[in-house]
Amino acid sequence: MIHLKRMPLAEEIKKRKTFGIIAHPDAGKTTLTEKLLLFGGAIQTAGAVKSNKIDMATRSDWMAIERQRGISVATSVMGFEYKNLKINILDTPGHQDFAEDTYRTLTAVDSVIMVIDCVKGVEKQTIKLMEVCRMRKTPVLCFINKLDREGRDPFELIDEIEEELKINVQPLTWPIGMGKSLRGVYNLYEKNINLFEPSKNKRVDDLVSIKNVNDPELEVHLPISALSQLREDIELINGVYDPFDEKAYLSGDLAPVFFGSAVSNFGIRELLDCFTEIAPNPKPRDTESRIIPPIDPKFSGFIFKIHANMDPRHRNRIAFIRICSGKFKRGNNYYHVRNDKRYRFSNATAFMAQQKETINEAFPGDIVGLYDTGNLKIGDTLNEGEKSLFKGIPSFSPELFKEVINLDAMKSKQLEKGLKQLMDEGVAQLFTYEMGAKKVVGTVGALQFEVLQYRLLNEYNAKVNFSPVNIYKACWINAKDKNNLDAFIKDKYRHIARDKDDKLVFMAESKSWLQMVEDNFSNIQFHSISEF
């Protein structure tokens, strides 16, 4: 019998880097993911990674959406080995209506790569995603994509990132031309240039090592106009930026910037090599009672995503757990803190490139898919018996609100069950009013209502409509003094609801009214996220 040598936990942790790729739709997230897998050797051909985008043209084609959901399970996590590291990429939905899903996925990563289109610059969705990263101090690397197109001036682009995303930036590569006149990128970090040759399949770079930007060797490779522009740019960059500060990157205060063209495999190696060197390993995580370091020998983890099987005959779901500490072993009994119960997980899957495979063990930073029959919900903690929940998976106030209207009184039970299970999955947020038990659903985008309506009917046989309600924001409330809170609830009883975890929420009708209420009740705290 072969005995495989087991690595100590510390070695396993040092091997792992878990990150997410985020972008405004169409910036090139799917293409970059695929190219990272290609460079990492995890896949052999381009075109293997499917976009999980929901095409607006097929919006009403639910079969297509179902297919898309299938794809997004396959591409939810992609692991690969590179330079003796185990790299886990977590995919995030591109469609902004599912932004909440993206926010949650970001709780499970240790860093992110943000893709920005060099023609469009910083876009709306990028700003929102960056806010979430800033809140958690997640280290961010920027990749400015589509250099093969006539994009904006690179200085203008990095200034825009700094201003709009409110983060200090530092270019680590620099483009030599753009669009038709793209000649290559200069690597400020390793001091070499990578010459551009448009090729979709090329994986070997044309690297020229140089001492610095004044090296005469450059004259052999670049036309004089491109070279003098590069020298001018680099002089300016060297005058503005201090040497790269890795600590500032790791604390989320500085974003290194790379330039490239994902579709032409260009500038990817620079990004990947720097990522593998500087991106953080699994970090300690906060629970209600203590901070758990990954090296803690006891297993712990939290559920950040649930994927349901849409076929009502097979109502199993896959819950994605991020391992935070210790070693996960398939078949072990683990403690479910919220339910105060132990469950055995004999069916556990890991994700390598495009493959799902059963695994026997997993380590901090890894994402494991657990088959679940309805016991797990987003935010749940599993561990070896400690009665303490992981923090940091809050709900954000939705942007759209509608009241659920039951169209078939005979199916109330089914509706109740469907709503509960779909909320556990994070399809939308449900607020139940204290008075009259009115149910209001909150979402980030209109498409979520359609998904909810469709799934309630198809999976639970519950027919609903949604009717408009006048709500601007859901604010989670608390107060130091319980008497003040009770007085507030009494005064505003028509506008008080409970969220899925039974937390108190004030449903504000307008911005100005919320402001007035906040001013009038200064002893009440109003929060736009559920964790405070």
Binding site for ligand G4P (CB under 6 A): 23, 25-31, 51, 53, 94, 145-146, 148-149, 261-264
Give least dist CB 146 to ligand G4P, A.
Answer: 4
Nearer CB in complex with ligand G4P: 272/415 = 272
- Name the residue among 43, 121, 123, 118 with its Cα closest to residue 78: 43
Residue with Cβ nearer ligand G4P (179 or 312) = 179
Going by C-alpha positions, the residue among 78, 84, 89 that lies closest to residue 111 is 89
> Residue 411 Cβ, how far from ligand G4P at the closest point, in Å?
38
CB of 37 to ligand G4P, least distance (A): 13
Q: Whole-number minimum distance, CB 110 to ligand G4P, in Å? A: 21
Q: Determine the Cα–Cα distance for residues 198 and 223; give it in Å rounded to an integer.
A: 17
CB < 8 Å & 24+ apart, contacts of 519-523: 521/484, 521/488, 523/479, 523/480, 523/481, 523/484
Cα–Cα distance for residue pair 293/324, rounded to 1 Å: 8
Q: Which CB, 32 or 382, lies closer to ligand G4P?
A: 32
Alpha helices in 241-351 (DSSP H): 246-250, 268-278
Question: DSSP character for 180?
Answer: G
Closer CB to ligand G4P, 42 or 496, in the complex:
42
Identity of the residue, 127 or 405, whose beta carbon is nearer to ligand G4P in the bound complex: 127
The nearest distance, CB 8 to ligand G4P, in angstroms, is 38
CB atoms within 10 A of CB 74: 16
d(CA 490, CA 238): 62
Q: CB of 152: closest distance to ligand G4P in angstroms?
A: 14
Residue 479 per-residue DSSP state: -
Strand order in the sheet with 400-406: 464-468, 400-406, 439-443, 429-433, 496-498, 504-508, 473-478, 525-527
CB of 373 to ligand G4P, least distance (A): 33
Helix (H) or strand (E) holding 235: helix 224-240
E strands present in 221-272: 254-259
